[in-house]
């Protein structure tokens, strides 16, 4: 079963992070990173501080193969970075164990905060052993299964009534083509009006889509 862990990593154990936040007041926040074929191509947001000076410094780093600003929203810039991973680095351990960075945030000389996803407990153990062999120090935080995380997230995205309506609609084939049940029939099962059921399904689905696509929702 897939495992999600939170960990805190000091700058000296994360060369890429040190390079990004060295001598700056910048905040760096990674988008989800999936190592593929031994390569890691981070996409991240940067804000605060002198972004132009930051760009010049990053481009001067010998490990940087490609660095492109791909978007800007107000004072935040989105970058793509192709970086040559040094042997024994934190990210190398992730590529070997097929780990995924779900989120990461770094600021100045403070520790980097990560949320990582591993395919299994065995892969997490392997990652820990690789890190220990390479003398990479980190502090492990919360750990839980992906299914537990998904259930917990869903509770914050939709209300219980919205969840009940969406689950029933799915089970009865309301979302199939052609539909296998009418809205009126579903409303009768829940003993509510058709309009109330329609509102619950619409608002619930809207909240889930907003969370998946944009990372925010209001149920």
User: Domains plus CATH for the chain?
Assistant: 3-143 (no CATH), 158-214 (1.10.10)
What is the model's pLDDT at position 79? 92
What is the model's pLDDT at position 217? 47
* pLDDT tops 90 at residue 185: yes
What is the 3-state secondary structure of the chain? CCEEEEEEECHHHCHHHHHHHCCCCCEEEECCECCECCECCCEEEEECCCHHHHHHHHHCCCCEEEEEEEEEECCEEEEEEEECCCCCCHHHHHHHHCCEEEEEEEECCCCEEEEEEECCHHHHHHHHHHHHHCCCCCEEEEEEEHHHHHHHHHHHHCCHHHHHHHHHHHHHCCCCCCCCCCHHHHHHHHCCCHHHHHHHHHHHHHHHHHHHHHCCCCC
Per-chain mean pLDDT for the chain: 82
What is the model's pLDDT at position 17? 84
């Amino acid at each position: 079963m897939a495992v999600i862990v939170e960990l805190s990593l000091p700058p000296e154990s994360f060369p890429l992070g040190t390079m990004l936040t060295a001598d700056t007041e910048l905040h760096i926040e990674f988008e989800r990173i999936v190592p593929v074929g031994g390569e890691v191509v981070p996409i991240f947001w940067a804000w605060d501080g002198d972004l132009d000076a930051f760009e010049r410094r990053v481009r001067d780093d010998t490990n940087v193969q490609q660095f492109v600003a791909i978007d800007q929203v107000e004072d935040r810039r989105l970058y793509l970075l192709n970086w040559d991973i040094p042997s024994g680095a934190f990210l190398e351990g992730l590529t070997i164990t097929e780990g995924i960075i779900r989120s990461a945030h770094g600021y100045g000389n403070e520790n980097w905060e990560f949320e990582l996803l591993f395919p299994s407990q065995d892969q997490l153990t392997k990652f820990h052993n690789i890190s220990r062999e390479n003398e990479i120090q980190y502090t492990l935080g919360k750990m839980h299964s992906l299914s537990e995380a998904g259930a917990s997230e869903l509770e914050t995205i939709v209300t219980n009534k919205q969840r009940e309506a969406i689950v029933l609609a799915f089970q009865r084939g309301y979302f199939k083509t052609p539909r296998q049940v009418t809205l009126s029939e579903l409303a009768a099962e829940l003993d509510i009006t058709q309009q109330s059921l329609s509102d619950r399904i619409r608002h619930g689905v809207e909240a889930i889509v907003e969370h998946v696509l944009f990372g925010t929702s209001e149920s």
